[in-house]
Amino acid sequence: MIMAKPKPMDEIINDIKDFAKVLIVGCNGCVTVCEAGGLKEVEALTSALRIHFMHKGKKAQIDGMSITRQCDKEYLHELADKMDSYDAVLSLACGAGIQFMAEMYGKKPVFPGVDTCFIGVTEDQGVWSERCQACGQCVLSSTGGICPIARCSKRMLNGPCGGSEKGKCELSVLLNRDIPCGWHLIYERLKTFKQLDRFAQPAADKDWSTSREGGPREIIREDVRP
């Protein structure tokens, strides 16, 4: 799932301060789960911005709503009859949703209300962490289900590096937060499967063209196209 966090309020205010009518649109998908851009966050932000503009003595109409997903056209179409009533849109969807909104409603300024962070999981309520970097060529079958691209700070395919200490990544000290060494996790997992011979064979070179090195990516599947 795509994880995002709310943008700092001053950035949001700075983006929309010159518009009289602003529609805040949430997304009921990933950003609802990570409590950054669902209906609950839309309502709080709408209210906060109304209070802000009233404090400033500025007349502004701030309305809010949330749609099923902002990364699908059929749901974005639901906004079609509303768009003309607003000067700008503040989208609380992930970066993909915000861009798709901007593409569909080309004449309307669309601003981001969240910072999109990573593809990850909900570890605990209020705790989310990264698990996938969408490299386009999954290696999890040979690494015990733990991704060396996402979990190793250096994205090494043959780790661990010399900085791994007591199961922690050397960046733990530098960044002052607890980062498990991805390759230590892989070692421990493969040990339970008695597959440590995996370490005797270096991994083959990875084709990074399926990742960002191949430019913006797309998937075209004729089998599911209309």
Q: Residues in the site for another protein, rule: CB under 8 A?
A: 8-10, 13, 40, 43-44, 47-52, 54-57
Q: At its nearest, how many Å lie between another protein and the CB of residue 62?
A: 10
Q: Shortest gap between Cβ of 6 and another protein (angstroms)?
A: 10
**Residue among 33 and 156 whose Cβ is closer to another protein:** 33
Q: Minimal distance in Å, beta carbon 45 to another protein?
A: 9
Residues 6+ apart with CB under 8 A from 149: 133, 135, 139, 155
| Closest distance to another protein from the beta carbon of 127 (Å) | 15
* C-beta of 59 vs 194, nearer to another protein: 59
Find the shortest distance in angstroms from Cβ 56 to another protein: 8
Question: Closer to another protein at the Cβ: 17 or 155?
Answer: 17
Minimum Å gap between C-beta 12 and another protein is: 9
Q: Which of 36, 27, 122 is nearest to 75 (CA)?
A: 27
SS3 label, residue 63: strand
Output 32 or 164, the one with its CB closest to another protein: 32
Q: Which residue, 33 or 161, is less far from another protein as judged by CB? A: 33
**Inter-axis angle of helices 9-16 and 39-55, to 10 degrees?**
70
Burial class of residue 192, CB neighbours in 10 A (0-12, 13-18, 19+): exposed
Q: Report which of 63, 74, 82 is spatially closest to residue 100, judged by C-alpha positions.
A: 74
Name the residue nearer to another protein (CB basis): 9 or 196: 9
Residue whose CB is less far from another protein, 10 or 223: 10
CA angle, corner 203, sides to 138 and 173, nearest 5? 80
Distances (CA, A) of 199 to 41, 66, 160: 46, 49, 10
Q: How far apart are CA 203 and CA 222, in angstroms?
A: 32
Q: Which residue type occupies 135?
A: C
Could you give the maximum distance between any two Cα atoms of the chain, in Å?
Answer: 70
Least gap, CB of 44 to another protein (angstroms): 5
